[in-house]
Amino acid sequence: MRNRKGLNRYLSNCLIVVLVLGLTGSCFNSRTYLTPEQISWNPYKHGQVLVFKSSKNEIDSINIKEIEAVFPDGMGVPDHNQRLRVLALHTDPRDANKDWETYILRISTESKKNGEPSQIGFDLRLKNSWFFEEKYDFDWVAAQPEIGVSVPYGELSDVIELNDKGRDDPDTELDIRTIYWSKSKGYVRLDKYDGTFWELIEIIEP
């Protein structure tokens, strides 16, 4: 009888181990990883400072604090899509005396769990200016034609133009209408609805 109880306990433990390994394996097997092309859409490096000047001769800057590739879904979830996030320190658009830390760029792989395609999100904030976060289908953005743009930083020929979708945006004087994104330098120009704009003038390397 004692041997039979010991055998039953051993078999139960083996079953638990098999189930745990199976669940863990299924989690990792369902992960979708960022592709080299998706990763290449992040032009920033930790420690960089992006300096912008407005058409009103105001100066503001954005500090790149952290760049990370994570699986924010957590363990035990049947789908894990990797995401690249660029965390930056910038001026609070509503109060120039305060600073915020937010993600100015997010790139995510497709989500099998939610049936969503790979996405890229832009969210930029400067003094009295805010491009409220917009998410776009990554393949659609990657297919946009490149244009040439001249800003104080220099001449750039790898720029795409993205417009505010206007959904759920507060109706304020902060709202940015269009961003100009360089594949090699990131944000280079921002046009507001009121006709004013910001342009990149310098990138300070760490």
Nearest-CA neighbor of 64 among 55, 77, 73, 51?
Answer: 51
CA dihedral 25, 33, 108, 197 (to 10 degrees): 160
Q: Residue 173: what are its φ and ψ, rounded to 5°?
A: -75, 0
| Predicted confidence (pLDDT) per residue in 22-56, tens digit | 333 444 456 778 999 999 999 999 999 999 999 99
- Residue identified by tokens 């244009």 is 147
Beta bridge partners, 119, equal 108, 137
Report if pTM > 0.85.
no
- Top pLDDT among 184 and 193 is at 184
Q: Would you state the structure tokens that stand for residue 90, as one six-digit string?
A: 């910038």
Q: Residue 138: what are its φ and ψ, rounded to 5°?
A: -60, -45
| Predicted confidence (pLDDT) per residue in 71-84, tens digit | 865 555 555 788 89
